[in-house]
Amino acid sequence: MSMDIDQADPTLQALEALPAALMAAQESPLSYTAHYRAMGLLEATGMEDQLPAARTNLTNYLAAADDVWIPLLQSKIAETDAAEPEIDVFIDLEEMFLKAERDYL
């Protein structure tokens, strides 16, 4: 049982730190540190479903590296695998690739 408590402790600590980290990323949108801290805590708490929004938030303010762009692009590409994807999905995907390319230049 002690093992369960020890394993839950980092998750609990991440959950407690998450609101402040998200607020810091919002209040200091030009801070890579704030964005990456928030994304790290989202991963640590198992809230991976919130990562795309956090990554997108970073790309709205700062040039992002491949550790941000690749998961975003992969997620958008997965949307094109639908039986009949909407044209908007392809337009969004092209815009994302162009923005990612600008971040690399």
The whole-angstrom separation of Cα 44 and Cα 13 is 9
pTM reported for the whole predicted model: 0.82
Give me the pLDDT at residue 31, please: 96
Which of 25-39, 55-69, 84-98 shows the lowest mean pLDDT across its residues? 84-98
Give me the pLDDT at residue 26, please: 95
Helices (H) and strands (E) in the chain, counts: 5, 0
Amino acid at 92: D
Measured between alpha carbons, how far is residue 2 from residues 8, 32, 58 in Å? 10, 36, 38
The whole-angstrom separation of Cα 50 and Cα 77 is 18
Sorting pLDDT into bands at 50, 70 and 90, what band is 52? Answer: very high
Sorting pLDDT into bands at 50, 70 and 90, what band is 4? Answer: low
CB 55 within 8 A of CB 36: no
The whole-angstrom separation of Cα 94 and Cα 71 is 15
